[in-house]
Amino acid sequence: MTPPDGPRRAVLLTVDDDPGVSRAVARDLRRRYGERYRVVRAESGDAAMDALRQMKLRGDLVAVILADYRMPDMNGIEFLERAMDVYPGARRILLTAYADTGAAIDAINVVDLDHYLLKPWDPPEEKLYPVVDALLESWLASDHRPVPETKVVGHRWSARSSGVREFLARNQIPYRWYLSDQPEGTRLLAAAGCDGLRLPLVIAPGGEVMVEPTDQDLATRVGLSTTAAEEFYDLVVIGGGPAGLGAAVYGASEGLRTVLVERTATGGQAGQSARIENYLGFPDGVSGAQLTDRARRQATRFGAEILTACEVTGLEVGGPARTVRFADGSAITAQSVLLTTGVAYRRLDVPGVDELTGRGIYYGSALTEAAGCEDQDVYIVGGANSAGQAAVYLSRNAKSVTLLVRGGSLEASMSHYLIEQIAAIPKITVRTGTEVSAVHGSDHLEGLALRERASGRTELVDAQRMFVFIGAAPRTDWLDGVVHRDRHGFVLTGPDLHSESGVPAGWEPDRPPYHLETSVPGVFAAGDVRSESAKRVASAVGEGAMAVMLVHRYLEGL
């Protein structure tokens, strides 16, 4: 009879209002089961219920509950009935005197009692342990698997619930999702004292409750670093996509005091890819999440510091120092800065889309929503690699997948290998020259109006899931007036900065900018945020590594 492995032992709970009896029960239980189970005792039904709620929030397992029948305010049967709402799988024993055996027999039907024991039960070897042994055996044979420490209770069509799940998933935080109207979700809401009007409810490790938490609240409570350990670094990398992670690995491995700052989750758009099949060294392909996890662990192993849920709002230049400012008012300073903020998917400019975003309409893969696509007709807007990868992935479970492409073909924007894969999957339909002209739904997406661009003909289709991949825009507004950008907002570097004099206006060093250096000496850019970049995972990683080499050159010249 081996209890489940894990940092916490399953609980045997005993409640009796007589302190002497309570201690005796706990003593006998610890003598036989103390090495394998945690014995918790309470001296009233209310105290025991409080203990159960706290254990529920922490994700503890309760194997057996022993309750005395005669207790003031709440008798043993009433207590066990309430305990069933919190831990329906726990085995239940009623401790009773001979005079109360009638009530104990009635309780078998009322609270599905597993056993009742007459007091006193001496010797326990004959009257207590065989009963508890049998119930533990039965409990262990049932589905008693522990719940991951982080739990999320929300509504199927809640935008913030979707955002919380995506944040946790992309940051590799194990969690379990409960719908608020399902039994276990209802139990967790009750244990947290939440009325369910404000969702999602997130229960962090240790049982701490958060209602509608921000990303920074989540990051802090689930163990992600959100505050810099130092005030000064050799290199600050802003953005945790492939370019940023590549720079963090090479910077830290080469001895630079390196910190990577990420707004949401490492991986960027590549981290959301269901499968990347053209990345060197992975002939069978690799998911964006796997590649991101490996890169993140590699960077931290070399000593890079990674901050999550930190939004950068400003960059200041003062002599040789480069100061990075955050939304919360804090700041860090470094000798050099690398911009790897990547790009964000452009918003679909159709009435009603903003109101239904997170409620059936999603930007990017939103892989946490894949399970909800089972046996549904799914629509994907876009014709580049990210849209193709999502179509292939979602076609595994969806009833059908329709790619809506504004252009006349996929060849201009999608890799050949993906076009061939899509053509070989019967569930996927490609509709070129087609765009979304309207969306319909009240609390969630229910339908789309599709317009053929050539004829202007409009068709209404039923839809509950739509994923949008329509080009990318750089997140560089906060750099306005600091570094030079092109008309689309992408950062200019190296040769693209050259004016008639060969250097950008205001450039002070007696050398031209390095290949990945911006108009500000010591500030570099790599990956998708850089003007004229290749927009591929491999090239972004390469630019991140190259940027570190150029950082070394810059630092040597100070």
Q: Where does 150-221 sit in CATH, by number? A: 3.40.30.10
Q: Is 353-470 in the same CATH topology as 232-344+473-556? A: yes
Q: What is the pLDDT of residue 272?
A: 82
Which DSSP string do the residues of 12-60 spell out, in sequence order? EEEE-SSHHHHHHHHHHHHHHHTTTSEEEEESSHHHHHHHHHHHHHHT-
The β-bridge relationship of strands 343-345 and 472-474 is antiparallel
Strand partners, 307: 261
Q: For CA atoms 266, 272, 278, 281, give the dihedral sign.
A: positive
Per-residue pLDDT at 368: 76
Instruction: Provide the CATH number for the domain formed by 232-344+473-556 in this structure.
Output: 3.50.50.60
Nearest alpha carbon to residue 537 among 197, 292, 188, 325: 292
- CA nearest to 391, candidates 422, 367, 414: 422
Give how far the C-alpha of residue 452 lies from the chain's centroid of Cα atoms, to the nearest Å: 37
pLDDT at 367: 67
Q: Left (φ > 0), alpha (ψ -120 to 50) or beta: where does 401 sit?
A: beta
Q: Are 524 and 337 in contact (CB under 8 A)?
A: yes
Q: Percent of the chain beyond pLDDT 70?
A: 94
pLDDT digits (tens, 9 = 90+) for 508-558: 899 999 999 999 999 999 999 999 998 889 999 999 999 999 999 999 988
Instruction: Return the pLDDT at 215.
Output: 94
User: Which is higher by pLDDT, 431 or 443?
Assistant: 431
The percent of residues in the chain predicted with pLDDT above 90, rounded, is 67
User: Position of tokens 């913030």?
Assistant: 160
pLDDT attached to residue 5: 46
Query: Rounded to an integer, what distance in angstroms lies between the CA atom of residue 545 and that of residue 553?
Result: 13
Confidence grade of residue 324 (pLDDT, cut at 50, 70, 90) = very high
* Percentages (nearest 5) of helix, strand, coil residues in the chain: 35, 25, 40
Residue that has been written with the tokens 């007696």 in this structure = 510
pTM score of the predicted model: 0.79
Nearest to 394 by CA among 508, 282, 274: 274
- The CATH class that applies to domain 353-470 reads alpha beta
> Could you tell me which of 194, 224, 225, 226 has the C-alpha nearest to residue 209?
194
**Across residues 409-418, what is the average pLDDT?**
93
Query: What are the sequence ranges of the domains in the chain?
Result: 11-141, 150-221, 232-344+473-556, 353-470
Q: Does residue 221 register a pLDDT over 50?
A: yes
pLDDT value of position 107: 63
Strand partners, 92: 65
* Cα angle 521-526-532, degrees, rounded to a multiple of 5: 105
Question: Which of residues 9 and 498 earns the better pLDDT score?
Answer: 9
- Mean pLDDT over all residues of the chain? 90
CA nearest neighbour of 42 among 74, 4, 84, 10: 74
With a cut of 50, say whether residue 384 has pLDDT above it. Answer: yes
**Mean pLDDT of the region 357-370:** 84
pLDDT of res. 505: 77
Per-residue tokens: 218: 């989540």
CATH homologous superfamily of 11-141 equals Response regulator (3.40.50.2300)
b/e map 370-404, b = 16+ CB within 10 Å: bebbeebbbbbbbbbbbbbbbbbbbbebbeebbbb
**Cβ pair 333, 232 in contact under 8 A:** yes
Mean of pLDDT values over 238-251:
97
Range name among 251-265, 322-336, 492-506, 529-543 with the lowest pLDDT average: 492-506
Look at residue 106 in the predicted model and tell me its pLDDT.
Answer: 65
Task: Check residue 227 and give its pLDDT.
Answer: 95
| Helix or strand (DSSP H, E) at 148 | none
Comparing CA positions, the residue from 534, 543, 488, 539 lying closest to residue 514 is 543
pLDDT for position 99: 58
Tell me what pLDDT residue 212 has: 95
**Residue 146 scores a pLDDT above 60:** no
Q: What pLDDT score does 118 carry?
A: 82
Angle among Cα 16, 17, 20 to the nearest 5 degrees reads 80
Which contacts of 32-35 are long-range, i.e. CB under 8 A and separated by 24 or more positions?
A: 32/124, 32/129, 32/132, 33/132, 33/136
State how far the Cα of 523 lies from the Cα of 28, in Å rounded to an integer: 68
pLDDT of residue 101: 67
Residue 49, pLDDT above cutoff 50: yes
Residue 476 CA, chain-centre distance (Å), reads 25
More confidently predicted of 120 and 90: 90
User: Using an 8 Å Cβ cutoff, are 499 and 513 in contact?
Assistant: no
